[in-house]
Structure 1
């Protein structure tokens, strides 16, 4: 039996039909479908990782949702949000600038604008001083610590746990008179002295409060208007349409063409006027997600490359194995695993390569050229040569032995010596 050669044979191609297409069996016992399946099994995990990373990157670059669930936020359509009030203000020509940090609020609160502060629970002393020092008109909702810094002489009152319900204006402020009566509950403001500070008007007294608390106050401080609403829930979507709540809120927030809507957040950093923006402020919103995706890719590459044992190092073999022993060992493996297709492919590859080299057929030639040259040299029919070199693999030991004899006979006919 002729020793198998490791030289790859020219690619088989039957007339009019690509090799391995439509289930045609190739010389090594495989088909185009089985080869494609093997390739897919090798790369499917890489494809899965690429798809997951692609979905993550796509989600990172997509614009953020235009609605939220933050309480009193102008983009929150839920009951605790204030989206209805913000939309009506926008329809009336008021530009609403929604911010979540004290730095952004202070920067946007210029003279001739209105700054709405929905809460002061998360503000530090530095942030409250910065907000109180702006030149914009202020509208404070249920303030607790910020009120005394803006309007000295007023403090936060309490309704004594009662539900005040409808409250009448009982003052001469135009905004309060336009509302007439409101439906509100909760805290109010109380003068610290016998009389309210100069330039301050108190409206909507809370019944049962002692000392007397008022839900609404307007003060003229340093040439700007400071409006205090003791019930933040008055502007929510659930209660904005009750009584005169909408009229009071629209007039208080719509006095200027620009409204800065500040909803403090728990993760807001303290304002430091002496330093510029940090690296996180200069990066786009999607930078963190993209950096996380890049980190995952780097870790995947590190794990993939770490599986290698290192570069190949030349080493002297302790035992020299003859080529014949290698051939016999490979043949025994084929026989043990009953790999008739692979054994036949090795025999056919060696025979086709040697015949092509002896007949002067170039290495780039296809199977039809090799078959034609061998048929002319051996004076055989081309169909017989094609079936012999590129036919279906044998399925038994006897078939493999018969194929080896026929290949040896063909090679002796083409080149007797």
Structure 2
């Protein structure tokens, strides 16, 4: 008994796997340069921010701290100048002490100060001077400080005073130029002096005189000995016999209000914090502290209301702090990098890499290509151009077969072809360089004669005398 075995179908592992197309990584050339530039800017900013002292650090400009970012050295200098230093931990306590007059109020962390407390500065007496250390854009808007905008650099640089303000003129060059302040809003304050390239601004609002200093370096233990920093900081803080030092390192809740008549004569918060009566246009209450009126709440004692209400007229919106986190040149550099990458992409267009070999979607026979091209010539009635393409190809082939120079002259070529094919020179001249055909039949005949001439040169044997297939007009018969 004979058995036959049928070959089993090949397993998938035995079959040839179709090669995978290589992944296209050309897009990386467009993405990597701007991404690297952005990463460099971000890393530099993070490193810079990590080394910067934070105002919520208990050591920052603290009059009792001996660390580099503290201000114990400045406090000692102020005491040696005969000024009493009183340290307060709350804004309300500092304002109450400053309301007694004949003092200097130093605010080292205005960003952490509640906005209503900042607005209370204008109700202080004329004998009290206020020094604010580097308020940012948010503190300017929230506290209704009169400066219009602020721009901050990475580091503080030194500059000459450039003004006649006594403490600055006496100190001379100091490292104050870090945050520069714009012009003052005349509705909120009157400018008294502007020094150190717009980084030290003195203005008056109501009766109080406020000095805004654009850098904390002049107050720090590790920088006070440089340039004229010590003279400037001491001169700003020793104009009165008392210095009230607000050592604040946390954000504060809004102040409360009370309607208790028993506290009317007490030296508490300024009277402008009392509720506003919206029905009385003549209400003397200050509109910088808008309160909708007494509203008792469950978490406050009877007779007290919270100041945490929406203002009837919203204050100016603070700018985005991200814009002030970088110096102006970083935005210019980033814009130039982006424009450069876009210009490079436009210039190179699709040439972002080497040519890629890709398989044709379909395989087209050469005969179909020739037929399609011929039909295009036929539709355009380009008989002369069609015959010229065939003649040029035939001339190139004949020159190669007869081993002539590529730039051979026409009479020499005609003579060589006639000698090799046995055709008369006029027939060769007419076949290779004759006038263009006027009809399709003339085109077909001319193409056939051209093919016969090339075949005659190719298959010519000694002793043979081939003749043209059909005589042309004017050729001897």
Q: TM-score, normalised by structure 2?
A: 0.38
Relative contact order: is structure 1 or structure 2 higher (C-alpha 8 Å, sep ≥ 6)?
Answer: 1
Which is greater in Rg? 2
Q: Which has the higher helix share?
A: 1
